[in-house]
Amino acid sequence: IYPGARLRTPDAAAAVRALAAWGPDVVHSQCEFSTFPLAKRIARACGAPLLHTYHTVYEDYTHYFSPSRRWGRAAVRAFTRHIAAGCDALIAPTAKVARLLESYGVACPVHTLPTGIDIARVDPAAAAALRARWGVQPGQAVLLYVGRLAQEKNIGELLALAQRLGAQGAAAKLVLVGDGPQRARLQAQAGPQVVFAGMAAPSFVPVCYAAGDIFLSASTSETQGLTYLEALAAGRPAVCRADPCLQDVIVDGVNGWQYRTPEELERHVRALLADEPARRAMGRCAAGKGLAVWSA
């Protein structure tokens, strides 16, 4: 599903011994599955504390492994407590995740520590070339999504928006950067105003943000939303489905909008498309280079 994804080798004993002999002061794990048991073994072998960053709200992924959402949530709670029992502390990227972990009754301390992002400078010529590759015409705005093409990302809501905008002659193109299990189904639903750009190397993703005009996300499952932060850092106003993890990140009327209904999404996007100076002002606010409050 995801090119370049890697799994650990079945026999990692030599690597565990080498890392334990190296004597780390702290072992930090970031995956609950293939590498967590190895991190736990290394920490025990050298007497180091084991910290684990909890990145994913698995309750929103129960459709992948359970026909019953209630049973799936119970399994997630039990699994999370099992992981926490093997750690000295958990790191939550946002207060939303910290509250969730505490509601599960995890035994170890929970600390909130947001994940940082790289801020890269982009050659404007590279962004212009990418827009041309996407087939963007002069005067068209790019509505950009970056992320997995999966059920919990609710991309159908963005496709419906693009269809309504296209039917009414709006000068906009929706570009989806990423890949995932729902790509074929989404392509079958999409109209000519939608571009499936495929996966992008991490080093190239900043060019994608620079080639966009408005960042969109309809995701219903985010712990921190790094793509939101990256888009804002690139100076792109963001219109995203409201989520507790976005508190003080996307501020309505300043650097974008948090919406709760498809009608709100369309209203905010139409307003941004119709007022390029205001859109650019919000982009400057998003990048921390200005301050303006705009109402739509």
How confident is the model over 58-105, as pLDDT tens digits?
A: 877 666 666 777 888 888 899 999 999 999 999 998 888 899 999 999
Q: What is the mean pLDDT of the chain?
A: 89
- The DSSP code sequence of 97-136 is HHHHHHHHT-SS-EEE-PPP-------HHHHHHHHHHTTP
Closest CA to 257 of 236, 275, 276: 236
Quick one: pLDDT at residue 35? 87
* Cα separation, 237 vs 283, whole angstroms: 5
Quick one: pLDDT at residue 63? 64
Terminal-residue alpha carbon distance, the chain: 39
* Cα separation, 224 vs 227, whole angstroms: 9
How confident is the model over 19-47, as pLDDT tens digits?
A: 999 999 999 999 898 889 999 999 999 99
3-state secondary structure of 115: coil
Closest CA to 157 of 265, 70, 66: 265
Task: Say if residue 295's pLDDT is above 50.
Answer: no
Please give the model's pTM, rounded to 2 decimal places: 0.79
Quick one: pLDDT at residue 1? 47
Quick one: pLDDT at residue 8? 66
pLDDT cut 70: percent of the chain above it: 92
Quick one: pLDDT at residue 129? 97
Give the type of residue at 294: W
Q: Where are the beta strands (DSSP E) in the chain?
A: 27-29, 50-53, 89-92, 110-112, 141-146, 172-177, 194-198, 214-217, 238-241, 256-259
DSSP state of 28: E
Task: Say if residue 220's pLDDT is above 50.
Answer: yes
Beta-carbon contacts of residue 189 (< 8 Å; ≥ 6 apart): 156, 159
Is residue 131 classed exposed, middle or buried when 0-12, 13-18 and 19+ CB atoms within 10 A define those classes?
Answer: buried
Quick one: pLDDT at residue 289? 56
Beta-carbon contacts of residue 104 (< 8 Å; ≥ 6 apart): 77, 80, 81, 84
Longest dimension (CA), the chain: 65
* Cα separation, 159 vs 138, whole angstroms: 22
Quick one: pLDDT at residue 240? 96
Task: Say if residue 4's pLDDT is above 70.
Answer: no
Please answer whether residues 144 and 213 qualify as being in contact, where contact means their C-beta atoms are separated by less than 8 angstroms: yes
The pLDDT of 272-285, averaged and rounded, is 93
The pLDDT of 108-129, averaged and rounded, is 89
Q: What is the CA radius of gyration of the chain?
A: 21
* Cα separation, 187 vs 262, whole angstroms: 20
Task: Say if residue 215's pLDDT is above 50.
Answer: yes
Quick one: pLDDT at residue 187? 96
How confident is the model over 227-262, as pLDDT tens digits?
A: 998 999 999 999 999 988 888 889 999 999 999 999
Please answer whether residues 55 and 30 qualify as being in contact, where contact means their C-beta atoms are separated by less than 8 angstroms: yes
Instruction: Write down the number of H helices and E strands in the chain.
Output: 11, 10
